[in-house]
Structure 1
Amino acid sequence: LFYLRREREERAAGRSEGAALEAAAATSGRAVLISGITVMIAMAGMFLAGDKTFTSFAIGTMMVVGIAMIGSLTVLPAVLSMLGDRVEKVRVPFVHRLRRPNGEARVWGAILDRVLRRPVLSAAAAVAVLVALTIPALSLSTTPTGLADISIPAIEPYKALTEAFPGGADPAVVAIKADDVRAEPVQAAIADLKRQALASGQMNAPIHVEASKDSTVAIVDIPLAGDGSDDVSKAALATLRDELIPATIGQVAGVEYAVTGSTAAAEDWNAQAKRTAPLVFGFVLLFAFGLLLVSFRSIVVAVKAIVLNLLSVGAAYGILVATFQWGWGESLLGFESNGGITPWLPMFLFVILFGLSMDYHVFILSRIREAYDRGLDTDAAVAHGIKTTAGVVTSAAAVMVAVFSVFALLPLIDLKEMGIGLAAAILIDATIIRGVLLPATMKLLGDWNWYLPRWLEWLPTLEHGEERVEAPPVPEAA
C-alpha cells in the first residue's frame, strides 16, 4: 500500500513511470525494508519463550513477513512497471473525494490541524484515555481454557453428560522410573505416598497405580482437591511436589520421578512464561530501539516509539481484561467468562502488536524525516508526513481490524480474546496513537525530535529520500 501510494504520488507530480518507480524504491522501498526487519525482529522474540508453540508462531510469522517484504521490493515494482498508469483502472467512485489534490487525506488533515494547534491539550487527552484503558490490565490473570469455554453445538451433549454425571478434575500423574518399579523399596514408597496423600486432606481416592510390562516405569494417578485450576488444586499440587513425593519416592535410591497432569502442565507453563517473558519483552524492546536509533539517528524518536507502542499494548490488555476477565462482553460476544485470560495470549499479543505497530510507525516517521531532510521545519514535516500517510495507515488498519474481528465470531474463547485484543490495539494505534499523540508530542519537542548525542555520531546515516538535503540544525548534546 505505501509503495503503490508513493509511486502514484510521484506520477501525479509529473514524473515519468520509470522515475516514479525509482523514487518509490528510494523512499517507500527503504521504509519497507526497515519496517520488515523490525517486524521480523519482534517476532523472533518468541524464540526465547522456550515453548514449541511460540517457536512455531515465530517461524510462521517471520516467513510471512519476510516473503511479503521481498515481494514488495521485487515483484511489486515489476508489476507496476508492466501496468504503468493502468494500475488505476476501474477506480472506486467517490472515494477520491476523501483526498485532496495534493495527496493529503481530508478528514485526517482536519483532525491533525486541530491537534497541532493545541498539542498540550491533545497529548494530555490522548494519554488520559490510554491510561484509563490500561488500568484494568493491572488485574490481569491467566486461566487455562477448558471444554466449558467452547460454545459450539457439537460440545453441548458432552457438557450435559458431565453435568448429569459429575466427576473430579483430571488427576495429578506421578511418573516413576527405576530399574524395577515392582521391587520392595519402590512399592513401599508408593504405598507410603498413597497413605500420606489421603491423610493430607488435599488429595482424594481412588488412587490408581499402574506399571509397565518391563517394570521400569510406574504411574500413580492422584486426584487433587478442587476443580483442577483453582487455588485449592494448585495448593494440593504444591504439597504433592514439594512435600509428599520427596519424603516418599524421593528417598529410594536410583529412582527418578516427575509430576504431570492438566493442573501440573498449566502451572509449569505459567512458571516458564514468567521466567521467559522478561527475556522476550527485553529482546523485542532492545532490538527495536537499536534499529530505530540507527534508522533515524535520533534517540528521542527511538525512545518515543517504544513508549507509544507500550501504551498501545497496555490499552489492549486493559480492554481484554474488561471484556473477558471481568465479563463485560459476555452478552455481546456470546461467551461465559472463566475469570482470566488464556495463558499464551499476553506474550503472543505483545510481540504481534509491537511488530504491527512498529511497521507503520516506521513508514510515518520515514515520511516525516524525508520532509525534514528536504528543508521543512519540524512542524511542517510532521503535518506533511502524517497527512500524506494517514489514508494508507487508515486503510491498512481497517483491513487488519476487519480480519482480526472475524476471530471474535469463533466459538473458542481463546480466539475471541486474540481477535478482540488485536483489533482493539490496531484501532487504538492507528487513531489515538498515530493521529493524535504522535503529532502532538513531535510538535511539542520540535527540533529535539532529532536529537542525537555526540558520542553516537558514529552511527551510519540512512537516507530517507532520493537525495540528501542539509537539514536544519538540531540541538547539540550537552
Structure 2
Amino acid sequence: MDTTPDHPDRTPLGRLGRLAFRRRRTVLAAWLVAVVVATLAAANLGGDFAVGYDTPGSESQAATQTIEREFGGRTAAEVEVVWHDGAGAVTPRSTAAIDRLLADASRLEGVAPGLTAKDAEVSADGTTAVVRLPLTRGEDHVPEETGTALVALGERAERDGVETIVAGSIAGMTEEAAMSAELVGFAVAAVVLLLTFGSAVAAGLPLLVALVGVGVALGLGGLLAALIDTPDWAVQMALMLGIGVGIDYALIIITRYRAAAAAGRDPESATVEAMSTAGRSVLVAGGTVVVSLLGLFLMGLPYLYGVALASSLAVLVVLAASLTLLPALLGFAGRRIERLRVPGVRPARTDPDTVPGARWARRIQRRPVVSTVLALALLALLAAPATTLRFGFPDAGNEASGTAPRQAYDRLTAGFGPGQNGPLVAVAATPGGPADSAALDRLAAEVRTDRDVASVSAPQPNPAGTAALLQIVPRSSPQDARTSDLVERLRDGPLRSTGLQVALGGRTAATVDQGAATASRLPLFVGGVVLISFVLLIAAFRAPVVALKAGAMNLLSIAAAFGVVGLVAQGGWAGQLIGIDTSLPVPPFIPVIMFAALFGLSMDYEVFLMSAIRERFARHGDARAAVVEGVARTARVITAAAAIMVAVFAAFALSPEVFLKLMGVGLATAVLVDATVVRVVLVPAVMQLLGERAWWAPRWLRGAATRPSAPVAAD
C-alpha cells in the first residue's frame, strides 16, 4: 500500500498548499508586510535585551538584592580600574591621573560616584592598585556610550604616563566579532544548496524562505524583550536555529516537489503532494523542536525563559513560512524551478537502488552486529571527554591574550594573587547598631583565619547604618574548586553562627548557587523533554519500538556532542582551533540549552528517515528492503540538510563570546554525528536486527493508526 495519500488535496496541509499556491500574490504580500510591521514594531516598541543571571531563591540573589536596596541603588556589577607604576601606584603622578579618571567616570550614566584613588586596594609591593567602580544598574542596562567613554578614559590615563586598564562587561567595552557568523553560515548554506539542486532558482527558494521567516522572528523577538527578560545572546541563538531549520525544512519540501514534477505532475499538483507528505514530516519535526525548547521552562531559571521563547518563536515562524510562503513561491517558480543550472552538477539519479546510499545500507545489513558495535565504540570515544567538563562561568582569565579583561586579570593575579579577580561579598543586616557592628567585626576576624582566605576588608556600612559589606578575597582563582569549597564552608560555618542575617554573594557564589539549582532540576527537564518527544513520535509512527530507538539514538548523539565540548573546553589543540587557549569551565546553562535544541533537531532526521522506511514497509512488507530503500531515498537530502545545519552552527565558533563558541561547536558536532554515524550506520544496523519487530504496536494503537507520509522522494 502506498502511504502517499490517495487524495493529497483532501489533507489539511494539502489544502493549505493549494490555497497558498493559488493565492500566491496575496501570501507573498502578507509575508512582506509581516516583515515590515515586525521590524517597525520592534524599533518603536521593542525592549532592551537584558537579564539577570541570579538563581531564584538563592543566597547570592539575596545578597544582590540587599546591596541594591541598602546601598543607594548600587548593584553587584562593577568595572575594574587597574593601574601599575613601578615607582609606586600611590605616587602623586599616579593618583592624580587616576583621580581625574574616576571623577570623569562618576559623571557617566550608570556609574556610582564618590570613589577616589584613596579607595584603592594596593598590592603588597605597592606597584599595583585597583578600584572597583560600582554600577547603579545591571551591566546589560548600562548605555554603550558609558562603556566607550570608560575605555577612552583609560587610554587618556595611559597617555598621562600611568599603565592603566579599564575592564568590564558592559556594551562598548567588549570585543565585537570581526565577521558575522550568520553571514558565514548563510553563504555556506547557499553553496550546499547549489550543489544539491544544481539550479540557482531551486537553491534560492530555501534561502528566501529562511530570510523572510527570520526577519519576522527577529522583529517579534524585539517585542518579546519588552515583555520578558531576554539575554542579548538569545538573538544569536534564535538566528542560529531559525536559519538552520528554515533552510532545512524548505529543502525537504522542495525535494519532494521536484520529484513529483519529474514524475509528470503539474506544478500545482506537485505542490499539493509535497505539502501533504513532506509538509507533514516538517510539521512533526518542527513541533518536536519547539516542544524541546519550551522544556527549558522546567529548569526554573528566569533567564532561560526568554531564550526558550525567542528560539521557539524563530522555529515557529520559519515553520509557518515553509508551510505557506514556500508553496506560494513554488507557484511563482512552477517548472522554471530547474532553470539557471549550475555547470558540472549532475541531476540526482531517479532510481534509488543505484545510489551509493543503497549500496552502503546493504553493506551494513550484512554485518549488523559488527556495525552496531563499531558505531557505539566511536560514539563512546567521542563522548569520553564529557567526563572532564567543569561547570561554572568563564572569567577574564579565559579571554584572549591582549584583551583588556585578560590584561587586568593577569595584572591583578601578579600583584595580589588569583583570588582578587573574584572577591566574595558578605552582606549583613545591622539594625542593632553598635552591637551588630561588634558582631560583624568578630565575623571578619574569624573569616580571616580560614586557610583559603587571603584578606577580608573592614566592614563598609551603608549611610543609614542598617547594613554593611565585607569583601572576602580567596587565595584561589574564581574557577578553582577550593573557592567553591570556601563558599560552602563560610555559609555553613561562621556566617551561619554569627547571629546576624548575612548573605554571601559575588560571582563565584552565584556560580555555586546556579550549579546546584541546575543539578536539582536537570532530571525533571531531561525526563520531561524525552517523554513529550516520545509521545510525539508515537503519534507520528504508531510504533513504540521506533520511538524508543529514536530517543536512545538522540541521547547518543547528544553525549558525543558533550564530549567534543569537553575536549574544546580543555583549551588544548582542539580549543585553540576556535580561539580558546585556556582551560575553562562550561556555564551550566550550555548543556541544558544544547540538550533542548539537539533533542528536537535530531528528531528531524529521525522523522525524515523513518517516514521513508515506513512508507516502503507499508507498501511491500519487507522490513529489510524497506531500510535499504528508505536510506537510499533520504541519503542525499539528509546529507545536504545536515551540511547546512553544521555550517550554520559551526560558523558561531567565530563569535568572540566563549559560550556561543561552545554551543556552536556542540550543536554542529551533534548534527554531524547524527547524520553520519547514527543515521548512516546505527539506524540501518539496528533496524536490520529488529526486523519487523521495529513496527510492532499494541492493538489499540494499531487500530488508531493513520497512514504515515514520506518526507522526500527518491534521490
* TM-score (ref. length: structure 2): 0.61
User: What's 2:673 paired with?
Assistant: 428
Q: Aligned in 2, Cα 1:311/1:27: closer, same or farther, shift over 3 Å? A: same
Deviation sequence 1:207-265 (CA, Å, 0-9, x none): 232233333332222222311221221222122111111111xx24xxx4321101101
Tell me which moved more, 345-354 or 299-308: 345-354
User: What's 1:393 paired with?
Assistant: 638
| Structure 1 residue 100 corresponds to structure 2 residue 344 | no
Deviation sequence 1:280-333 (CA, Å, 0-9, x none): 111111111111112111110010001111111111122222333273424434
Is the Cα–Cα contact under 8 Å of residues 615 and 709 in structure 2 kept in the other structure?
yes
| Structure 1 residue 176 corresponds to structure 2 residue 431 | no
CA distance in 2 between partners of 1:126 and 1:150 (Å): 37
Is the Cα–Cα contact under 8 Å of residues 292 and 302 in structure 1 kept in the other structure?
yes
Deviation sequence 1:366-388 (CA, Å, 0-9, x none): 22222222335222222222211
SS of residue paired to 2:474:
coil
Deviation sequence 1:394-423 (CA, Å, 0-9, x none): 111111211222222344433332222222
Is the Cα–Cα contact under 8 Å of residues 126 and 432 in structure 1 kept in the other structure?
yes
SS of residue paired to 1:141:
coil
1:14-93 alignment, distance < 5 Å: 14-93=264-343
CA distance in 2 between partners of 1:463 and 1:344 (Å): 40
Tell me which moved more, 401-410 or 298-307: 401-410
User: What's 2:27 paired with?
Assistant: none
Is the Cα–Cα contact under 8 Å of residues 150 and 411 in structure 1 kept in the other structure?
no
SS of residue paired to 2:427:
strand
TM superposition shift of 1:351: 1.5
CA distance in 2 between partners of 1:244 and 1:15 (Å): 79
User: What's 2:590 paired with?
Assistant: 345
User: What's 2:362 paired with?
Assistant: 113
CA distance in 1 between partners of 2:620 and 2:339 (Å): 35
CA distance in 1 between partners of 2:493 and 2:562 (Å): 37
Is the Cα–Cα contact under 8 Å of residues 397 and 410 in structure 2 kept in the other structure?
no
Is the Cα–Cα contact under 8 Å of residues 385 and 564 in structure 2 kept in the other structure?
yes
| Structure 1 residue 417 corresponds to structure 2 residue 662 | yes
TM superposition shift of 1:130: 1.2
| Structure 1 residue 453 corresponds to structure 2 residue 703 | no
Is the Cα–Cα contact under 8 Å of residues 617 and 623 in structure 2 kept in the other structure?
yes
Aligned counterpart for 2:513 among listed residues 263, 268, 276: 268
Q: Aligned in 2, Cα 1:131/1:199: closer, same or farther, shift over 3 Å? A: closer
TM superposition shift of 1:92: 2.2
Number of aligned residues? 457
User: What's 2:615 paired with?
Assistant: 370
Q: Aligned in 2, Cα 1:457/1:211: closer, same or farther, shift over 3 Å? A: farther
User: What's 1:137 paired with?
Assistant: 386
User: What's 1:470 paired with?
Assistant: none
| Structure 1 residue 210 corresponds to structure 2 residue 460 | yes
Is the Cα–Cα contact under 8 Å of residues 321 and 340 in structure 1 kept in the other structure?
no
The amino acid across from 2:342 in the alignment is V
Deviation sequence 1:122-181 (CA, Å, 0-9, x none): 222212211222223234332421112122644364356445534523221122335x36
User: What's 2:476 paired with?
Assistant: 226
| Structure 1 residue 236 corresponds to structure 2 residue 486 | yes
TM superposition shift of 1:19: 1.8
Is the Cα–Cα contact under 8 Å of residues 352 and 358 in structure 2 kept in the other structure?
no
Aligned counterpart for 1:408 among listed residues 641, 646, 653: 653
CA distance in 2 between partners of 1:247 and 1:160 (Å): 36
SS of residue paired to 2:605:
helix
Q: Aligned in 2, Cα 1:129/1:64: closer, same or farther, shift over 3 Å? A: same
User: What's 2:371 paired with?
Assistant: 122
Is the Cα–Cα contact under 8 Å of residues 169 and 226 in structure 1 kept in the other structure?
no
Is the Cα–Cα contact under 8 Å of residues 313 and 353 in structure 1 kept in the other structure?
yes
SS of residue paired to 2:469:
strand
User: What's 2:111 paired with?
Assistant: none
Q: Aligned in 2, Cα 1:299/1:74: closer, same or farther, shift over 3 Å? A: same
| Structure 1 residue 12 corresponds to structure 2 residue 289 | no
Is the Cα–Cα contact under 8 Å of residues 224 and 237 in structure 1 kept in the other structure?
no
CA distance in 2 between partners of 1:273 and 1:260 (Å): 18
TM superposition shift of 1:434: 0.6
* TM-score (ref. length: structure 1): 0.89
CA distance in 2 between partners of 1:334 and 1:390 (Å): 34
Aligned counterpart for 1:381 among listed residues 626, 634, 643: 626
CA distance in 1 between partners of 2:352 and 2:329 (Å): 22
CA distance in 1 between partners of 2:354 and 2:581 (Å): 42
Is the Cα–Cα contact under 8 Å of residues 447 and 456 in structure 2 kept in the other structure?
no
TM superposition shift of 1:337: 3.0
CA distance in 2 between partners of 1:157 and 1:231 (Å): 23
User: What's 1:151 paired with?
Assistant: 400
TM superposition shift of 1:18: 2.0
| Structure 1 residue 359 corresponds to structure 2 residue 604 | yes
CA distance in 2 between partners of 1:96 and 1:104 (Å): 17
Unaligned regions of 5+ residues in structure 2, if any? 1-250, 711-715
Tell me which moved more, 303-312 or 414-423: 414-423
Is the Cα–Cα contact under 8 Å of residues 143 and 338 in structure 1 kept in the other structure?
no
SS of residue paired to 1:374:
helix
SS of residue paired to 1:223:
strand
| Structure 1 residue 2 corresponds to structure 2 residue 252 | yes
CA distance in 1 between partners of 2:458 and 2:337 (Å): 70
The amino acid across from 2:276 in the alignment is A
Query: What value does the CA root-mean-square deviation take over the aligned residues?
Result: 2.3
The amino acid across from 2:705 in the alignment is T
CA distance in 2 between partners of 1:159 and 1:260 (Å): 20
CA distance in 2 between partners of 1:104 and 1:325 (Å): 45
Higher relative contact order (CA 8 A, sep 6+): 1
| Structure 1 residue 195 corresponds to structure 2 residue 445 | yes
Q: Aligned in 2, Cα 1:376/1:84: closer, same or farther, shift over 3 Å? A: farther
SS of residue paired to 1:20:
helix
Q: Aligned in 2, Cα 1:328/1:340: closer, same or farther, shift over 3 Å? A: farther
The structure 1 segments of at least 4 consecutive aligned residues displaced by more than 6 Å after TM superposition are: none
SS of residue paired to 2:522:
helix
Unaligned regions of 5+ residues in structure 1, if any? 467-478
Q: Aligned in 2, Cα 1:406/1:208: closer, same or farther, shift over 3 Å? A: farther
Is the Cα–Cα contact under 8 Å of residues 300 and 449 in structure 1 kept in the other structure?
yes
Deviation sequence 1:432-463 (CA, Å, 0-9, x none): 111111111112211111111236456x4243
User: What's 1:292 paired with?
Assistant: 537
Aligned counterpart for 1:439 among listed residues 684, 697, 707: 684
SS of residue paired to 1:176:
strand
TM superposition shift of 1:202: 3.1
CA distance in 1 between partners of 2:551 and 2:296 (Å): 18
Aligned counterpart for 2:548 among listed residues 303, 306, 316: 303
CA distance in 2 between partners of 1:104 and 1:39 (Å): 32
Is the Cα–Cα contact under 8 Å of residues 151 and 411 in structure 1 kept in the other structure?
no
CA distance in 1 between partners of 2:325 and 2:466 (Å): 59
Identity %: 36
User: What's 1:277 paired with?
Assistant: 522
